[in-house]
Amino acid sequence: MSEKKADRGKWNSKLGFVLAAAGSAVGLGNIWGFPTQVADNGGATFILIYVICCLCVGLPVMIAEFAIGRHTRRNPVGAFKKLGSGWFPPLIGLWGVMCGVMILSFYLVIAGWTVSFIFEEIFYYLGWHGASAWVSDLGNGPKNAFFSILFMAATIGIITGGVSNGIERATKTMMPVLIFVLIIMIVYVFTLEGSMDGLRMYLLPDLSGLNTDVFFSALGQAFFSLSLGMGALLTYGSYLRKNQNIVESATYVTIADMSIAFLAGLLIIPAMFVAQNAGITIIGEDGRLFSSATLVFDVLPGLFKSMGGAFGLIFGTSFFLLLSMAALTSTISLLEVPVSYVIDEHKIARKKAALLVGGLVLLVSLLISFMPSMIDVFATIFNNIGLPLGGLMLCLFLAWFWKAEHAITEIEQGYEGIHQSMVKPVWILFVKYICPLLIALVLVTTLYNLIF
Ligand code: PHE
């Protein structure tokens, strides 16, 4: 991929593109973010709103990002510059680059945790309890910094060295294995005492808990999990072949992403109730589930330990290994956005650009490594506000500057039947009116609640 990207090449195959985009989408957002949000926002009600956000806002925006990317064959800043004049278009791209940099900086710390827990599982199995406790201490600054640097080094290595066969091939085998491990874990959790209470909370909506915050969180989570609003999928779209059906590919990516998040919730929420059965408090005085950036790491290792011996070791290490791989395919796409911007717009060589931008991001990561409580703050600002705002600007730009009809002419390549299909009027309606209105409504209501 990357050697092709340097000369603005194309994806090897249709499946290769879908897998790479799914690799960007499936990551910590699904396995760390989604269950945390479900716990924080009252269970099943959140899932309902989340599905609506993914299908009614996420999917149309993803189609728009792919179309703009493929049409312009540029990085986000260059793409908007090419399609419109004045100060507004490049600003949308720059906003995305900035969000990408900030999201990557805290993402790296969590990704570092996933790697450190591989070691935690091994050390625990070997009986090295001191080392196991040290490596699993989420507040341990130097340790966090070390693993963040490690993760960034791997990301830069892949971005400069060429992603093509490595990542495309790796994603192809990793995804099924990740799903397999998730399913086995879910089956195991269901055999444990207390899990059914969790399942009930996860699947039965309780509309009494519904408030505007739930919409705010669900929309932000949808953008984050689907890699939207900052130009990551726009950039991936810029390497797309003209004969690929954009609508079909976007649908596959959205469904794959939603399904893996759903599976992760099916594991984590019941696992929380199993933990409660074992005497751990998981529900606060306000009747809400405890949740924080560390939720997944607090709940899962205990579960692996309860499996015991080699069995626990195998599942524990493979789970965290797969999670770190899933995170890696996401950090690559997060870094690719600012890197492609620096290469295209400032004419800096790929390797130098990756090192420069990577180093800059790492500086912020180091700060967060020593203050992990900042993760929640960063996630709220950049995932929940930054990305939907990026998506809003993108929809407005597409509808009123570039015009939806031009986008349709682009989408039509690879999908000739679009003119006879309902997809055309429905997508135009969503991208022109429904998506911007929904996003604006959620952002404005949240701002209003915050101030008054
Ligand atoms: N979608 C990724 C995840 O779920 C995170 C991401 C966000 C990647 C934005 C690229 C752009 O983990």
pLDDT digits (tens, 9 = 90+) for 260-308: 999 999 999 998 888 888 777 777 777 677 767 788 888 888 888 887 8
Query: What percent of the chain has pLDDT above 70?
Result: 95
pLDDT digits (tens, 9 = 90+) for 1-13: 444 444 555 677 8
**Contact in structure between 125 and 312 (CB atoms under 8 Å):** yes
For ligand 1, mutation pick of 109, 171, 225, 227 (most atoms within 8 Å of CB): 227
Q: How much distance in Å is there from the Cα of 104 to the middle of ligand 1?
A: 9
Across the strands, what pairs with 349?
none
Residues contacting ligand 1 via CB (< 6 Å): 24-25, 27-30, 103, 224-225, 227, 230, 232, 330, 333-334
Tell me how far CA of residue 34 lies from CA of 30, 58, 257, 401, in angstroms: 5, 15, 11, 34
pLDDT score recorded for residue 3: 40
For residue 43, give the CATH number of its domain.
1.10.4160.10
Question: Rounded distance, CA 218 to CA 303, Å?
Answer: 27
Question: Rounded distance, CA 430 to CA 55, Å?
Answer: 10
Global pTM value: 0.92
**Contact in structure between 407 and 67 (CB atoms under 8 Å):** yes
pLDDT digits (tens, 9 = 90+) for 204-242: 987 877 888 899 999 999 999 999 999 999 999 998 999
Higher pLDDT, 158 or 173: 158
pLDDT score recorded for residue 320: 93
Range of 276's domain?
3-451
Q: How much distance in Å is there from the Cα of 219 to the middle of ligand 1?
A: 14
Number of residues written out for the chain? 452
Question: Rounded distance, CA 18 to CA 410, Å?
Answer: 18
Which atom of ligand 1 sits closest to the CA of residue 27? 12
Question: Rounded distance, CA 127 to CA 121, Å?
Answer: 10
Q: How much distance in Å is there from the Cα of 216 to the middle of ligand 1?
A: 18
Tell me how far CA of residue 335 lies from CA of 151, 329, 331, 347, 379, in angstroms: 12, 10, 6, 17, 17
pLDDT digits (tens, 9 = 90+) for 382-428: 999 999 999 999 999 999 999 999 999 999 999 999 999 999 999 99
Which atom of ligand 1 sits closest to the CA of residue 334? 10
Which phi and psi (to 5°) does residue 218 adopt? -65, -40
Domain count, the chain: 1
Question: Rounded distance, CA 377 to CA 31, Å?
Answer: 19
pLDDT score recorded for residue 144: 97
